[in-house]
Amino acid sequence: MTCIVSVNGLGVKFGEFWAVRDVSFSVEVGQIFGFLGANGAGKTTTIRVICGLITPTQGQVTVDGEHFERGREDAIKAKVGYMSQKFTLYNDLSIEENLDFAATIHGISKADLRRNKEELFDLIKLNRAESTLVAQLPSGIKQQVALVAALIHQPKLVVLDEPTAGVSPASRASFWELIRKLTTMGKTVFVTTHYMDEAENCDVVALMRSGELIAMGSVPQLKENTFKEQMYNVTPSPLFSSKDLNELKGLCKVIEPCGIHYHVLLNAGADFHTMDRKIDVEKIQPSLEDVFIQLVEHGGG
């Protein structure tokens, strides 16, 4: 495996505040690398360093062999396609004008632009005229065109900061299909998301909390490391009272509300038999959401 991003002891300080503290990880070529964490965890700040947009206070970042160096940010920028969290495209420009603009920023020729555009429109199966104003596009298609803009200079690494925020569930699913296609084209994808169902699609997931990297691994590894015991889905009966809830809590080392259910781990030696008629119990595999809640909100494993 070849490493395309290598982050070593990264620290970023704003004034007296460390937004990112001693973060180290690497991303292999062809991976979908999911970068997760609550708001303010330091994801976007790390991304801005990887994209060559801000200078790290401490540590080193290498992207495809290029070290971050003041004055040499362009070397990194050429290798990275960046879709930022809020800004995606100019609403008052057409699809074509947005892409021309992105191409100009990266200094790519008209011929390359035409060729890349064709290939990328093919990828997203664009069915709108290039002269369509971006403001007139549904949010799902807008995100796809934004992805095309981020890829127009054929970067090896694509960095997507919450690409599906505010996009409908169906469009989120098609966006993830695109992400998978990108990896089959040899691209590496670094992506942040708040949606845990999406994060299950990642080859490797890294969890950030308060500027620190608190866990990293494949999705199965993270689940196994976080929950060594069997997890159960507990469904309360209609008569389940707050007293019953206290009894249930007494049996469990972990209990998380999950819709109308609870996801629980039993205390050593405990079982559910005293609550037979008050709850339904089934064995389940923990979801990434369970892992996330356990690690990020309770700080435990």
Ligand X SMILES: Nc1ncnc2c1ncn2[C@@H]1O[C@H](COP(=O)(O)OP(=O)(O)O)[C@@H](O)[C@H]1O
Question: Which CB, 24 or 237, lies closer to ligand X?
Answer: 24
Q: How many CA atoms lie within 13 A of 203 on its CB side?
A: 14
CA 36 – CA 175 distance, rounded (Å): 18
Please state the closest distance from residue 299 (CB atom) to ligand X, in A: 17
* Interacting positions 44-63 with Mg ion (CB under 5 A): 44
Out of 2, 39, 127, 131, point to the residue binding ligand X (CB under 6 A): 39
CA 73 – CA 119 distance, rounded (Å): 27
Question: Which CB, 48 or 278, lies closer to Mg ion?
Answer: 48
Residue of 209, 202, 200 lying closest to 180 (CA atoms): 202
171 binds Mg ion (CB under 5 A): no
CA 118 – CA 227 distance, rounded (Å): 47
37 binds ligand X (CB under 6 A): yes
CA 181 – CA 179 distance, rounded (Å): 5
In sequence order, the β-bridge partners of residue 189 are 32, 158
Q: Name, in order, each residue with C-beta under 8 angstroms of 254's C-beta and a sequence gap of 6 or more.
A: 227, 263, 264, 265, 294
193 binds Mg ion (CB under 5 A): no
Give the residue closest to Mg ion by C-beta.
44
Please state the closest distance from residue 15 (CB atom) to ligand X, in A: 7
Which listed range, 37-45, 99-107, 134-142, 282-290, lies at the site for Mg ion (CB under 5 A)?
Answer: 37-45
Q: Binding string, 86-125, against ligand X, x = CB under 6 A?
A: ----------------------------------------
Question: Which CB, 84 or 94, lies closer to ligand X?
Answer: 84
Please state the closest distance from residue 29 (CB atom) to Mg ion, in A: 25
Out of 5, 7, 10, 19, point to the residue binding ligand X (CB under 6 A): 19
Site residue total, Mg ion (CB under 5 A):
3
Question: Which CB, 45 or 226, lies closer to ligand X?
Answer: 45
Residues in contact with Mg ion by the rule CB under 5 A: 43-44, 85
